[in-house]
A and B are shown apart, each in its own frame.
Chain A
Amino acid sequence: MNRTLTIIKFEYNGYVRSRSWRVTTIIFMLLVIAASSIPHFMALFEKIGAGNEKEKILVVSTSENGTDATSAQEMVSLLEQVSPDYDWYAGKKNDDPKALIENGDYNLVVSYDGGEVYTLYGSGYDFAVYGLQATLDTTLTETLRQNRMSQLPADDQTTLTEIMNSHVTGTIESVGKGGAMQNFYLSYIMLYLLFIILMIYGQFVVTSVVNEKSTKAMELLITSAKPTQLMYGKVIGIGLVAITQFALIGIVGIGGMIVNFSAWEERLPVIAEGIKTANFSPILIVWLAVFFVLGYLIYAFIYAALGATVSKIEDASTVTTLPIMLLMIVFMVSMVAMQKIDSMLVKVMSYIPLSSPFTMFSRISMGEAGAVEGLIALAIEIVFVIAIAWLAAKIYRVGVMMYGKPMNLGEIFKAIRTKGSSRI
């Protein structure tokens, strides 16, 4: 155990103290800070982009009562003054906003009945929707107040106060893609993150194993510690490096979001709202951590075992093709399947050890699977991790002292079965 700890420390320090790792981490941290400042960039781009093709917005008045209403044409002429960056159009009462947007006739449709609520229709990913909302709120509130006041006797103070406090707010209805599934974005981000970690750090594991063989350090190492200790120490050490890197990036990202949150609320209120209402329960974070760790261990053990079967860095890519292909397929299918989280494919994938870290977490976070299903997937996952660790240790043990051309699967299994054999 002590030895394994020593190996973990050595592996960990090797990466964390290296210049390339530090530079990469800092670059990622800067990128995350930039991403958290997107609303500020949007404001900047809007200024720069003024004069480009304007967004077309249709205003539809659905008011039944002529006396309390502002007609669509009146609203349009007012909004043209307030927001000349857009092209405003007046619509008819029974225009269908969804159809008009889906046909591409207009970018946005404002539907207002002259009361205290309007609806702004837009494609779910059109940033203009969020930027515009604040303008509409203010303009329509002002219009409502003036309308109501103009209809009052001059001395009606109570009603005046009521009118002054009346307020128009909008609700946004997303048309087309991007439904309001719970934690969809969170799951999406986590899938990406897991994929990236497995790609980057899986390569680290392979390179590290092959490097010890190609520099001939291995013979000294395996006479100083057991091959299993070397492999577990390496896999865990590199895993901790991954955690450190993503924790640093995560902390900066969360900090950036906290600092910039008011800008998000102003410019991208839907996303801000999504973050506020996302279900980041502690239990979900535990699920996330467990599936991340197990997912990493499965792929890292595969990488380590395969790395042990080659002796030159140039040959490393030949053996990593298999886990990379596997990972890509699992990732792609998971991404596509998430659009239909209740499908049979996703259900099946969430119990297969190689894909369950991706799909079972998505199902749980999006409310598709309960704790029992999660625990079953977890049990299967743990059994598989133990099995793969055992097998990987066997392959590693015979592989590390084999030099020459990369071994094929047949040779590997033959070597495992023959006690104490080697090609040296």
Chain B
Amino acid sequence: MIEIKNLVKRFGEVKALNDLSFTVKDGVAFGLLGRNGAGKTTCIRIIMEIFAADSGSVRIRGIGENEKQGNIRFGYLPEERGLYQKRKISEQMIYIGMLRGLSKTEAIDRMNLLLKELEAEEYLNRKLDTLSKGNQQKIQLAIALINDPDIVILDEPFSGLDPVNAQLLKNIVRKQADSGKTVIFSSHQMPQVEEFCDDICIINKGTAVLSGNLDTIKRSYPRNTLLVETGLPPTEDVLTSVKSRMEDHVSSATIAQKCYAITLKDDSARGALFEVFTALGQTPEKFIIKEPSLEEIFVEKVGDPTEDEKREEAVA
């Protein structure tokens, strides 16, 4: 478990982190979300002890930043990726493995295992600069996991990956989380995160604006909009009929692509709505509650984008 409490970090006049707090549980995939320059990387770098916070605390598995964390193994994929362009992949992986406390044989074993899992065994003896960007990314991920870390921190892991490799990455992150490890990753690609992360924290201007379990968050939003699909193309006539028949219960009704989106004044009218559609000869094939997408939640929570960009420039 990682507990972040009241982190503050300034770079000159800019407050990169402003009283940031959140908790990451073991065994879940935790998404740290925010616009560019929101403070994700700064927060991660403080966790990785690349620099210290001005105030606040980070406790990892109950151990504070000034105490010895000798037994905790970290795996880190930095946002600024890069390695030795002219050295062999195997040489670099073993090197980082050994720097992170593995023996040479352990490093070789882990390397072989990870490259197999990432379908990248053929690159073992290649030099890094001979690989495509996506494949270099895979190697970076393998290096992040080389020491079988307890805490896995991935900064923007999806950037630069094609859908197949993104899926490969998701599987690996999922596997890490399922085996009880603490997995944090930062991203601004909501669909990727939504698909497989358990908990999230949305950061805006250095402060957590929303954090917790993603399902719980979604459920906390109103559940009174229904999407109805009848198998036939939606028409204005049907919509008007539904509205007039349920005048007391419907607050709004629109056509959204292939379906009708009906927002009810109260949840109890769901059954009546179904019956109205059936009576009109439009028996619903799909009749579902519309949940907000992570993207919608994100946009709702995150403020003026131009201000963020200004902050990003000042911090960079």
Contacts and interface: CB of A to CB of B under 8 A. Distances in A.
Interface of A: 3, 6-7, 10, 13-14, 18, 211-212, 215-217, 219-225, 401, 404, 419-424
A412 to B, nearest CB: 16
B116 interface: no
Given A220-B83, A223-B50, A223-B76, 6 more contacts: A14-B84, A211-B84, A220-B82, A223-B49, A422-B51, A424-B45
A422 B316 CA distance: 11
B52 A420 contact: yes
Interface in B24-60: 41-42, 45, 48-53
Contacts of B76: 220, 223
Tell me what chain B mostly uses at the interface: helix, strand, loop, or mixed: loop
B163 to A, nearest CB: 25
A217 B83 contact: yes
Nearest to A424: B45
A224 B99 contact: yes
13 contacts: A6-B98, A13-B91, A14-B87, A215-B82, A215-B83, A219-B50, A219-B80, A220-B143, A401-B50, A404-B316, A421-B51, A422-B51, A424-B51
A424 B52 contact: no
B274 interface: no
Interface residues of B, number: 30
B78 interface: yes
Contacts of B83: 215, 217, 220
Interface in B50-92: 50-53, 74, 76, 78, 80-87, 91
A404 B315 CA distance: 11
B287 interface: no
Nearest to A222: B50
Nearest to B46: A420
B5 interface: no
Interface of B: 11, 41-42, 45, 48-53, 74, 76, 78, 80-87, 91, 95-96, 98-100, 143, 315-316
B30 to A, nearest CB: 19
Contact of A419 (B41, B52, B100): B52
B51 A6 contact: no
Nearest to B103: A2
Given A401-B50, A420-B52, A424-B42, A224 B85 contact: no
A7 B100 CA distance: 12
A24 to B, nearest CB: 16
A56 to B, nearest CB: 59
A424 B74 contact: no
- Across chains A and B, which 5 residue pairs bring their CB atoms closest together, nearest first? A216-B82, A420-B52, A219-B78, A224-B99, A215-B82
Contacts of B91: 10, 13
A136 to B, nearest CB: 60
Nearest to A14: B87
B96 A224 contact: yes
Contacts of A420: 51-53
A118 to B, nearest CB: 63
A220 B42 contact: no
A13 B96 CA distance: 15
Nearest to A216: B82
A423 B11 contact: yes
A6 B103 CA distance: 10
A219 B87 CA distance: 18
Contact of A424 (B11, B98, B99): B11
A220 B100 contact: no
Contacts of B98: 3, 6
A214 B80 CA distance: 10
Contacts of B74: 223
B99 A225 contact: yes
A6 B52 contact: no
Contacts of A422: 11, 50-51
A216 B80 contact: yes
Contacts of A215: 82-85
Contacts of B316: 404
A112 B143 CA distance: 81
Contacts of A423: 11
Nearest to B87: A14
Contact of A6 (B80, B99, B315): B99
B286 to A, nearest CB: 47
A19 to B, nearest CB: 10
